[in-house]
Amino acid sequence: MSSLLVGIDIGTSSVKSLIMNSSGQIMGLAQQEYDIQIPKAGYAEQDPAVWWRLTCDTLKQAMRQAGAKDADISGIGFSGQMHGLVAVDESGQVLRPAIIWCDQRTIPQKEALESALSVEQLGALIQNPVATGFQLLSLLWIKEHEPLIYRNIRKVMSPKDYVRYRMTGEIASEMTDASGTAAFSPASREWSRRLLEAVDVDPELFPAVQEPWKHSGTVTRQAAEESGLAKGTPVVYGGADQPMQAIGNGIIHPGTISCTIGTGGQLFAPIDAPVYDPLLRSHSYVHAFPCRWYLLGATMSAGLSLKWLANQILGETDYRLLDEKASTIPAGSEKLLFLPYLTGDRTPHMDPYAKGIFFGLTLKHSGAHMVRAVMEGVAFSLRDSLEIFHSLGVDAKKIIVSGGGAKSALWSQMLADILEQDVYASRMTEQACVGAALIAGVGVGQFDSIEQGIAQVVQIHEEPIRPQGRNRDVYRQQYEVYRALYDANQRLFLELESPDNKNEGVIQ
Ligand SMILES: Nc1ncnc2c1ncn2[C@@H]1O[C@H](COP(=O)(O)OP(=O)(O)O)[C@@H](O)[C@H]1O
Ligand SMILES: O=C(CO)[C@@H](O)[C@H](O)COP(=O)(O)O
């Protein structure tokens, strides 16, 4: 009898396909990387056809690794990078490259929307801030700059919804990814027709919204040929990467928090009512668990900051080696600080103009100091999110760390020291894929409920990583300077981007 579950994560840097059994044993795991295309400074695009092709490749690899036949797969679930825009025409053809979450071209659309609607009005309509790279703003950009394409758009989709459409032929959205489009009200769990009316966008462009664990169709004949899956294999809607990762870590009830360092960094706290920050410094979205929402603090460039330093500045690609080097530097990087705003900031400043800064450089600082300072800067940024959660009365009894950055013992220790709390690591790997496979198991009836699936699959280390007293004290002081750095530079960030600034990087 078929009983293997598949979880596919359409990440920012790669697609991962995972095959597990009902006890959570990973039987096969394959990953294929892709780049972010930057056709112009501030743009970030990807080709949806590449997502689909590499999904098929990784599925075949994972099945080979698992020694599984197509008939062994009982259900498929998806996880995916959030906020992005895939636009398709009447016949379901992609009209232009996807504009993804870290794209920053929509500063004018963001500012126009924010001057038309107050923070209070946005809070009432969508309970969230709008940020560059969010689907609705990207759609407004196409409307303004590519009117011929805009006219042909029949539906817009989030990245993983497009890949699922290629697999099943059905165009649909689900609550968790709809939440991150800026066109959806998580509190009322429906597209915000009032907001769409206010920006003159046809609500019909947005697909019907489903629950993540529900059956969304089956693998089509063509998808079967391309992916090696069996035609007719059941597929569930799946969810955005943050809630899927939370499910894969067993985080469904208030009190336990997920802390992720992937390309971006996120702090995620389940809540049992759609509470939101009245200052809109963090996000409030629908969770992939019945009647639950979550608060999300987002760092735009987390792992991406380290990747930038490693690849573009130090010419080193081995993260383990960088870890080793950073371990030789004392906590606080001998007073070197890094502000990780390489692609602007979301939480807490929601400022697309913000820039990265190394602050405090002296002759004694080496590449290893810079690596450590980058890791610390990312952890400080996640602490900013924790401070906001505390201010909203959200309890963090337990913090579970994951994402590529959590593979580093040093980075995980820094999180404990800087968040000033025990943090727990998972015994599993690729929790977003695990979450996607788990809800597929719920959808096909292999688990009675998400809770039962979690009890059967998820394993967290019992021993926490504890804050180290001396480091904590150093970081407490360093955090004060970190906080002040943005305030001291906010005006200068704006000045750099002013239309009067003639510095356009042209070589004479
Ligand atoms: N051993 C390691 N030490 C430190 N950082 C690491 C290590 N391995 C991966 N990373 C970080 O994790 C990031 C990738 O995380 P991942 O969760 O795989 O990304 P995504 O899901 O966004 O595609 C890299 O950019 C890197 O900064
Ligand atoms: O932007 C957010 C959440 O707001 C991320 O969840 C993105 O979806 C990217 O995630 P990674 O690919 O960095 O894991």
* 265 and 180, same domain (yes or no): no
**Ligand 1 and 16: CB distance under 6 A:** no
Range of the domain at 226: 4-243
Whether residue 453 lies inside any domain: the answer is no
Residue nearest to atom 10 of ligand 2 (CA): 81
* 232 and 272, same domain (yes or no): no
**Which ligand places an atom closest to the C-alpha of 414?**
1
Tell me, in angstroms, the distance from the centre of ligand 2 to residue 263's CA: 7
Pairwise CA distance, residues 77 & 168, whole Å? 12
* 130 and 238, same domain (yes or no): yes
Pairwise CA distance, residues 478 & 461, whole Å? 30
The 3-state DSSP class for residue 344 equals strand
CB atoms within 10 A of CB 23: 7
* 103 and 125, same domain (yes or no): yes
Whether residue 37 lies inside any domain: the answer is yes
**Ligand 1 and 12: CB distance under 6 A:** yes
Residue nearest to atom 1 of ligand 2 (CA): 82
Whether residue 451 lies inside any domain: the answer is no
For residue range 16-59, what is the model confidence (pLDDT) as tens digits?
Answer: 999 999 999 999 999 999 999 999 988 999 999 999 999 999 99
Tell me, in angstroms, the distance from the centre of ligand 2 to residue 496's CA: 27
Tell me, in angstroms, the distance from the centre of ligand 1 to residue 59's CA: 21
Q: What is the CATH number of the domain that holds 355?
A: 3.30.420.40
User: Which of 214, 243, 272 is where one domain is finished?
Assistant: 243
* 350 and 255, same domain (yes or no): yes
Task: Report how many domains make up the chain.
Answer: 2
Pairwise CA distance, residues 109 & 447, whole Å? 44
User: Which of 221, 243, 265 is where one domain is finished?
Assistant: 243
User: Which of 243, 261, 281 is where one domain is finished?
Assistant: 243
Whether residue 459 lies inside any domain: the answer is no
**Which residue type sits at 397?**
K
What is the CA angle 380-381-382, rounded to 5? 90
* 239 and 255, same domain (yes or no): no
Whether residue 442 lies inside any domain: the answer is no
* 190 and 261, same domain (yes or no): no
**Ligand 1 and 319: CB distance under 6 A:** yes
Tell me, in angstroms, the distance from the centre of ligand 1 to residue 408's CA: 9
Whether residue 28 lies inside any domain: the answer is yes
Tell me, in angstroms, the distance from the centre of ligand 1 to residue 80's CA: 16
Pairwise CA distance, residues 80 & 62, whole Å? 18
* Backbone dihedral angles phi then psi of residue 480, each to the nearest 5 degrees: -60, -45
Helices 431-443 & 241-248, crossing angle to 10 degrees? Answer: 80
* 170 and 143, same domain (yes or no): yes
Q: Contact 28/19 with Cβ under 8 angstroms?
A: yes
**Ligand 1 and 37: CB distance under 6 A:** no
Q: Contact 418/479 with Cβ under 8 angstroms?
A: yes
**Ligand 1 and 407: CB distance under 6 A:** yes
Catalytic residue among 72, 103, 241, 323: 241
CA 501 vs CA 106, 342, 504: distances in Å? 19, 19, 8
Q: Pick out the residues of the known binding site for substrate.
A: 82-83
Question: Residue 508's pLDDT is what?
Answer: 66
Of 379, 371, 377, 265, the closest CA to residue 313 belongs to 371
Whether residue 398 lies inside any domain: the answer is yes
**Ligand 1 and 323: CB distance under 6 A:** yes
> Cα(first)–Cα(last) distance of the chain, in Å?
69
The 3-state DSSP class for residue 209 equals strand
Question: Residue 1's pLDDT is what?
Answer: 57
For residue range 64-102, what is the model confidence (pLDDT) as tens digits?
Answer: 999 999 999 999 999 999 999 999 999 999 999 999 999
Q: Contact 268/347 with Cβ under 8 angstroms?
A: no
Tell me, in angstroms, the distance from the centre of ligand 1 to residue 1's CA: 37
* 270 and 154, same domain (yes or no): no
Question: Residue 506's pLDDT is what?
Answer: 67
In ligand 2, the atom with minimum distance to the C-alpha of 12 is 12
Whether residue 68 lies inside any domain: the answer is yes
Pairwise CA distance, residues 120 & 278, whole Å? 7
Q: Contact 401/424 with Cβ under 8 angstroms?
A: yes
Tokens of 372: 């450590």
Give the binding-site residues of ligand 2, using a 6 Å CB cut-off.
11-12, 81-83, 101, 241-242, 262-264, 266, 296, 298
**Ligand 1 and 443: CB distance under 6 A:** no
* 19 and 123, same domain (yes or no): yes
Q: Contact 168/161 with Cβ under 8 angstroms?
A: no
Question: Residue 231's pLDDT is what?
Answer: 98
Q: Catalytic annotation on 70?
A: no
CA 400 vs CA 90, 403, 425, 429: distances in Å? 43, 10, 6, 13
Residue 204, Cβ density class (10 Å: 0-12 exposed, 13-18 middle, ≥19 buried): exposed
Of 388, 376, 397, the closest CA to residue 474 belongs to 376
**Ligand 1 and 403: CB distance under 6 A:** yes
* 237 and 295, same domain (yes or no): no
Question: Residue 59's pLDDT is what?
Answer: 98
* 132 and 39, same domain (yes or no): yes
Do strands 86-88 and 337-339 pair parallel, antiparallel, or not at all (unpaired)?
A: unpaired
pLDDT tens over the chain, length 508 residues:
579 999 999 999 999 999 999 999 999 999 999 999 999 988 999 999 999 999 999 999 999 999 999 999 999 999 999 999 999 999 999 999 999 999 999 999 999 999 999 999 999 999 999 999 999 999 999 999 999 999 999 999 999 999 999 999 999 999 999 999 999 999 999 999 999 999 999 999 999 999 999 999 999 999 999 999 999 999 999 999 999 999 999 999 999 999 999 989 999 999 999 999 999 999 999 999 999 999 999 999 999 999 999 999 999 989 999 999 999 999 999 999 999 999 999 999 999 999 999 999 999 999 999 999 999 999 999 999 999 999 999 989 999 999 899 999 999 999 999 999 999 998 888 999 999 999 999 999 999 999 999 999 999 999 999 999 899 999 999 999 999 999 999 999 999 988 777 776 666 6
Mutate to test the pocket of ligand 1, among 249, 407, 430, 431 (most ligand atoms within 8 A of CB): 407
